[in-house]
Structures are given as structure tokens and as C-alpha cells.
Amino acid sequence: MTYVMSDLHGEYEKYLQMLEKIKFSEQDTLFILGDVCDRGEHPIEILFDMMNRPNVYPIMGNHDWIALYLLEKLTTEITEESISHLSFEEMQDMLAWIDDGGNTTVAGFQKLSHEDQENVLDYLKEFSLWECIDVGEKTFILIHAGLGNFRKNKKLTQYTPEELLLTRQSPNVRYFDDDTIYIITGHTPTYFLSGKSEIYQNCNNICIDCGACFEGGRLACLCLDTMEEFYI
Ligand SMILES: [Mn+2]
């Protein structure tokens, strides 16, 4: 079976509970649509679990992207000295990121050996900006946030990271004429779309960020073979 989840945001316990709930095995495939990092307490633990599973495919989220960019600047150790090497703009980025949930990622990263820090950075660099997969009769485009500056004939390779990671999908607009093509996104908690923390589907858009790291939110998982929904 092929599954998708998104916006784990450090919720390691919910992630493990979900893998158990779907009875995730080596024969299955899981795509994680970004924002593993930040907010919840254990983003680094999730990254290590993911990197040890060859059948888990990570897609980049805006939080993972900024984490990679800023953790690389800090590399070996986050000391006052390494922070003082940052430019004013980098320092501003750092403070904004920490304020936006990056504190838990920094805290976990700081505890790692130099080798494991390099492993985390190498793994984040492997995250894809998008995936496009066929399951049964359907084609699924998997991205974190949306198809920014959308044009029907624009190839996925022509989208910039900013367009894919920061532009919110319009969930009530049909993007492609071919109704076997679905776009799956995270990034926007579905509570803001429907008032409910459950997977939102309309016009071949499927929004799966059910706000796992927020009060009242849930971690969602969708099986693309059966379209069955799972929640923690
Ligand atoms: Mn996001």
C-alpha cells in the first residue's frame, strides 16, 4: 500500500502510533509531505526514524528548508561564537525561525554528535521538492504547499522552491482538466478550510495537514490505494 502524511512537526509519538495503526511494513511506501521539523518536541527523532526506513520518501516543507539553511550555517556546534559569525540578516532569519517553532529543532540538533549532525543535514538535502506517482488509475502530485504561479502546461520541474513550499493551494479550484490527476498538499491546517481537523477533498485537491502539532489537531494519514483515512 502507498500512504501519505504531512506536517509531522516534531510529533514523534503520533508518528509512531500512526505507523502502528496502518500496520506499516517493508512492503508499503510512505510519502511525507514536509514540515517534519519545528514546533513539536522531537523533530530530530522523526528524521532519524525516517532515514532508517528505505520505503519512506521525504518531500521538502518550508520548515525543513529553513532548518537546513540555518542549521548548515551553525554546523558543528551552536555556541555564542558560531552565532556571532552570522550576518545581521542571518541573525534575523535565525530569530524569526526560532520564534516560528525552530527552537525544538535546534535543541535536538545541539544534542547530536558532529557525525549525526552531518547525517541530519545530508538527509534534509535529499528531500524532494515534489513527487508524482501513479496508484491504480490515479496520478497523484505530492507537494508541501501548492503549485504557485500555476499554469496548466508548466512542468513540475519548472516550479521554484518558493512556489512549491510557500504558496497555499486553492483547495476549491480545479487545476487540471484530467480528472484522474490529484494534487495532495499539507501546509494549511484543514481546520482553516472546513472548521474540522480532517482530510479535506474538493476539485481533485486533497489537503492532509490536520494540525497534528496544534491543540485539537490530529495527525492524518491517507492510503492512496483505498483512499481510507486514518487519524491519531
Ligand atoms: Mn508548511
Ligand 1: centre distance to CA 160 (Å): 15
Q: Please, which pLDDT band fits residue 80 given cuts at 50, 70 and 90? A: low
pLDDT top residue among 94 and 142: 142
Q: What's the whole-number mean pLDDT along residues 122-145?
A: 98
pLDDT tens digit sequence for 152-180: 999 999 999 999 999 999 999 999 999 99
Q: How far is the CA of 81 from the centre of ligand 1 (A)?
A: 30
What residues are neighbours of ligand 1 (ion), with CB under 5 Å? 35, 61-62, 187
36 CA to middle of ligand 1, Å?
9
Separation of CA 23 and ligand 1 centre (Å) = 27
What spacing in Å lies between the alpha carbon of 186 and ligand 1's midpoint? 7
> What are 84-100's pLDDT values in tens digits?
677 888 888 889 999 99
Cα 154 to ligand 1 centroid, rounded to whole Å: 23
Query: What mean pLDDT comes out for the span 120-144?
Result: 98
Residue 152 one-letter amino acid = K
The three cell numbers of residue 123 are 538527509
Q: Is 159 helix (H, G, I), strand (E, B) or coil?
A: coil
| pLDDT band (50, 70, 90) for residue 78 | low
* Residue-level pLDDT at 55: 98
Give me the helices (H) in 52-160, please: 62-74, 80-84, 88-97, 103-110, 114-126
Query: What is the average per-residue pLDDT within 59-87?
Result: 79
Domains (ranges, CATH) in the chain? 2-231 (3.60.21.10)
Burial of 172 (0-12, 13-18, 19+ CB in 10 A): exposed
Mean pLDDT, the chain, rounded, equals 94
Q: How far is the CA of 97 from the centre of ligand 1 (A)?
A: 12
Distance 65 CA to ligand 1 centre (A): 10
Distance 189 CA to ligand 1 centre (A): 9
Residue 225: pLDDT over 60:
yes
pLDDT of 83 over the 70 cut: no
Between the CA of 116 and the centroid of ligand 1 the distance, in Å, is 25
77 vs 90, higher pLDDT: 90
Determine contact, residues 205/211, Cβ cutoff 8 Å. Answer: no
Mean pLDDT across 36-43: 98
In this prediction, residue 24 has a pLDDT band, given cuts at 50, 70 and 90, of very high
Bridge-partner residues for 231, per DSSP?
220
The b-or-e profile of 55-76 (16+ CB within 10 A means b, else e) is ebbbbbbbbbbbbbebbebbee
- Residue 74: the pLDDT is 77
